[in-house]
Structure 1
Amino acid sequence: MKHLFKTAVRGLVLFTTLQTSTLLAAAPVASGADHNHLLIEQSIEQKSEVTWKQVPTRTITASDVNFAYRELGKHHGGTPVVLLTHLAAVLDNWDPRIIDSLAARHHVIAFDNRGIGATSGSPSNSMEQMADDAITFINAMGFEKVDLLGFSLGGMVAQELVLKQPQLVRKIVLAGTGPAGGEGISAVAGVTFYDMLRGAFTGQDAKQFLFFTRTPSGIQAGKAFLERLKERTEGRDKEISVSAFFAQLEALHLWGQKAPADLSVIQQPVLVVNGDDDRMVPTVNTYDLARRLPNSRLVIYPDAGHGGIFQFHADFVRSTLDFLGR
């Protein structure tokens, strides 16, 4: 029975991947948030000819792993901002509005961790291993100190990373994430599979259900976000493999069962962000993080879910730029 369940889930994952690829031909959906973001996009075009849509994917080798990464805004200098992404995500799952806007002022790097997307090696199945892999990548890039932006699973990796190597981190942004042992985190797999089924039966991307509320504004924001993810049409990353997806689910389950860490030792400034109705990593965890981190700032977006930073991307960029610039 267990083997049958895994086989069915693998088939569902592959179906969802194919479905997402098929939707690439859909017509764009306009959004008010995108319209409000026009000025900063024009500023980006004036400052740089390369955006997230065109930036090449490069590789760097460390510890026998070929890490795939993309980099923008290197000419700004300063502390690099390293991005750590969510469950089942590869490079093309980052919102181009967020990346381009941050890169208009900062050196920004996104990468696939070991065994994910175009990066070689076997995928890690714990947050501790993922943090070690991220440290390996950061060291290989020659960065002595970085800022971290971790979303969802990436925010958990960021917590482990700063606990392991506090001298490596200047500031942290934690979005849609929670602490070890946090409420509902060990149940992420169940929520994910349920919404994958909802997506499959309704012909929609599962992220529409996982990341956004089912209110009119949430549904519109989800559609706009999914269209933005399709803007890059050439040189796209490899989709996550089924084995890597299951390794990440195992890591999430272990994180949810893990004893709480002493977050009071994290002295770095931390921006903690989420929507007020996160189904994947319940928002109560966001409040918990903000309470336990001694130097934190909390932002909660109304009528927003797990993908609140994508729904309110213009405001999130402003808050993040202000936070990093202080």
Structure 2
Amino acid sequence: MTQHSHQTAPTQFVDAAGIRFAYRRFGQSGGVPLVFNMHFIGTMDHWDPLVTDGLAAGREVILFNNAGISSTSGEVPASVEEMAANAAAFIEALGLAKVDVLGFSLGGFVAQALTAANPGLVRRLILVGTGPRGGEAMATLTPEAQAAFGASYANPDELWLDVFFTPTEASQAAGRAFLKRFRLRQEGRDPEVTEMVAPAQITAIGKWGASRAGAFDYLREITHPTLVINGSNDVIIYSVNSFILQQNLPNAQLILYPDSNHGSQYQYPALFVGDVTRFLDAVVPFPIQKDADHD
């Protein structure tokens, strides 16, 4: 076990594909590491420490910024596939032959593309608050997302109350607790993203979400054990897209948390950590095809 946590893990750097990637590693070493892929305009410091530290109790956790994000060099790619290629280059630069991959929102697009392009690199896949290529209402930001990201907030962090949580009293209370945890790390905190990030990421999101014939065919080639998790009322990437993922991925299970929006894992961090831990630790999480055993 490393002596570091979400709050104290130092930012390290590794070079790959002409990019200087910023990353942090902490938790229980020796097994298959879990690599986190971040959401729209997020940095390593946008993860919830209850989630990262909770999962790090049983495995090594790796957080990183993709190209052009915060302390990582380069330009933000205008396609998910390029982001996925960068993620693969980063993982390989760390000398890792096999990883588990978690992707949240835009990071979930990247996680899918990474796994599809590099099936031997990935053991198990966790998709949170995300959707398939060409999913429902994914060609542009949803009206709710446009309203949230276009609004003005006295405290900029309160954007995430609208993006991640429902308007109910219980969900908003969970959101306010999350915002306190969100700012716990003070030393060595990542810089916020520049104004160049959002336009490039929106372009990539639009390409991924555009409707097309056979949009879901690629999912049937991802035979890895997969856990899909979302809120019951995700208005950023509509919850139906999680069902579409589960229906088209050959070895996927789906969990929807009640009275929750895009950030359901931050509303129910203990439940989320427990569900993910059971999935990753299971000898066989659920039946898989004989030719698709990635353990």
The reply to whether TM is greater than 0.5 is yes
Letter in 1 for 2:45: D
Aligned match of 1:70 in 21, 24, 28?
Answer: 24
2:235 matched residue in structure 1: 279
Aligned positions, number: 279
In structure 1, the partner of 2:285 is none
Q: CA RMSD in A?
A: 1.5
Residue 102 of structure 1: aligned partner:
55
Q: Percent identity among equivalent residues?
A: 41
- One-letter code of the match for 1:136? A
1:189 and 1:276 map into 2 onto residues whose CA distance is 16
| CA contact 2:17–2:86 (8 Å) conserved in 1 | no
Query: 2:41 aligned to 88, 99, 122, which one?
Result: 88
Aligned residue in 2 for 1:261: 216
Does the 8 Å CA contact 2:231/2:263 hold for their aligned counterparts? yes
Residue in structure 2 matched with residue 57 of structure 1 by the alignment: 11
Whose radius of gyration is greater, 1 or 2?
Answer: 1
Quote the offset at 1:66 in angstroms: 0.6
> How far does residue 287 in structure 1 lie from its aligned partner after superposition?
0.7
In 2: Cα distance, 1:55 partner to 1:191 partner: 35
**Which string of whole-angstrom CA distances, capped at 9 and with x for unpartnered residues, describes residues 263-312 of structure 1?**
11111100000000000000000111111111111110000000001101
The corresponding residue for 1:12 is: none
Alignment pair present for 1:139 and 2:92: yes
Structure with a larger share of its residues in helix: 1
Superposed CA deviations along residues 113-166 of structure 1, whole A, max 9, x for unmatched, are: 000010000111110000000011011011111100000000010111111111
In the alignment, what sits opposite 2:113? 160
Which letter maps to 1:279?
V
Change (3 A) 1:302 1:239: same
- Residues 32-77 of structure 1, C-alpha deviation per residue, up to 9 Å, x if partnerless? xxxxxxxxxxxxxxx654210111110001122110001012x521
Q: Does the C-alpha gap of structure 1 residues 100 and 201 become closer, same or farther in structure 2, counting only changes over 3 Å?
A: closer
Gaps of 5+ in 2: 283-295
Within 5 Å, which residues of 2 pair with 1:1-326?
49-73=3-27, 75-188=28-141, 190-200=143-153, 205-259=158-212, 260-262=215-217, 263-326=219-282
Name the stretch that deviates more: 182-191 or 220-229. 182-191
Looking at structure 2, the residues matched to 124 and 190 of structure 1 have their Cα atoms a distance apart, in angstroms, of 24
Q: Calculate the TM-score normalised by the size of structure 1.
A: 0.82
Instruction: Give 1:203 shift.
Output: 6.8
Q: CA deviation at 1:187?
A: 2.6
Whole-Å separation in 2 of the counterparts to 1:189 and 1:202: 23
Structure 1 runs not aligned, ≥5 long: 1-46
Q: Is the 8 A contact 2:68 2:75 kept in 1?
A: yes
Alpha-carbon shift at residue 220 of structure 1 (Å): 0.5
- C-alpha distance in structure 2 between counterparts of 1:258 and 1:112, whole Å: 28
Deviations 1:199-219 (A, max 9, x none): 527876211101100000111
